[in-house]
Amino acid sequence: MLKIPNISIKDIIYSLKTQEPDKVAIFIDKQKISRAELYHQIILCKKKLVSLGFKKKDKLLSLMDNSLDQIIIILSCLSLGIIWVPLGKERKGIGLNYIINLINPKRIIIQNKKKINIKKKFNKKILLIKNLKDKSVDDKVKVKEYTNNISCILFTSGTTGPPKGVIVSDKMLIASAYATGIACDIKNKDRFLLWESLSHIGGIEVLILCLMADSRFILLKKFSAKKFWKQIRKYKITKLHYLGGILDILIKKKSKKIDRNHKVKLAFGAGSRKETYYEFKERFNIPLREVYGMTEASSFTTINFK
């Protein structure tokens, strides 16, 4: 089990170059990103953000899919005191424009301008990821790091009314990662399949946990039931995080002789029905550990160890 952390996101980033820097931290498609390489890219991104005029407490709204670029931006913002506001590319129309008006971000970072549906009056705020990745950064740019009272604002889906922004601090992010480590009984050699959106606390906590515990994760753009077990076996995943109806989706897939052919030691998450809990455990030979929590309460508040 992890020790109770007395660290910040800045400390985690610094550890990337001081603790096992050559160890692979992230698998993305055919890429292997070492801890040292990740650290180097974060430093370049921070310099670029500063050169673009970002200061402490400025807000950067992100409309991006899961990607290495997204991870680098997240960690850069969190250590610069820039308030990161992730929404994901699926946000559109009234809900998206409502949030932009509400938080008034300094810039809106996107991957592809053609696929973003926002009002023209916000066009001047748009920042393409390719421009942020431009490596022509002045070496003289000075980067001052801060731990802000507000690290990020995570918005609810808005199914019962206007989307609500949950204010999340640096300590809350660390606490949620620590709780995740307890829930999954984290080990140094564990491997995680990170399919959850990085605009959701479920994705962010796994990201921070893996960097904090020197574990590895395989980053996916999104969940795919068709590819899921192939990915589990290919990357030798040992811990499986689930949310909502994911387990029900997997159970509906046709049973195969190789259902139990994997290295997963534990599945943990929230939203499993009682029937699903036992059926999944029996079919795939994977113990399940249900948790409950809210973003507002640093994610997990209860864990069922039985």
Per-residue pLDDT reduced to its tens digit, 225-280:
999 999 999 999 999 999 878 999 999 999 999 999 999 999 999 989 989 999 99
Q: Give me the helix-helix angle, 9-18 and 35-51, nearest 10°.
A: 130
Paired with 230 in beta bridges are none
Do the bridges between strand 24-28 and strand 31-34 make them parallel or antiparallel, or are there none, so unpaired? antiparallel
Q: What's the number of CA atoms in the CB half-sphere (13 Å) around residue 99?
A: 29
DSSP 5: P
Q: Say which residues have a Cβ less than 8 Å from residue 86's Cβ, sequence separation at least 6.
A: 61, 62, 64, 70, 74, 152, 154, 198, 199
Q: Is residue 300 predicted with pLDDT exceeding 90?
A: no
Average pLDDT over residues 147-176: 85
Q: Is the dihedral of CA 182, 34, 67, 98 positive or negative?
A: positive
Per-residue pLDDT band for 160 (boundaries 50, 70, 90) equals confident
| Pairing assessment for the beta strands 152-155 and 126-128 based on DSSP bridges | unpaired
- The pLDDT tens digits for 105-120 are 999 998 877 666 788 8
Per the prediction, the chain carries an average pLDDT of: 89
Q: What is the pLDDT of residue 88?
A: 80
pLDDT digits (tens, 9 = 90+) for 278-298: 999 999 999 999 998 888 887
pTM for the structure as a whole: 0.91
Q: Give the lowest-confidence range in 74-78, 89-93, 155-159, 212-216.
A: 155-159
Note whether 127 and 107 are within 8 A (CB): yes
Phi, psi of 57 (to 5 degrees): 80, -5
Describe the crossing of helices 170-184 and 201-212 by its angle, rounded to 10 degrees: 80
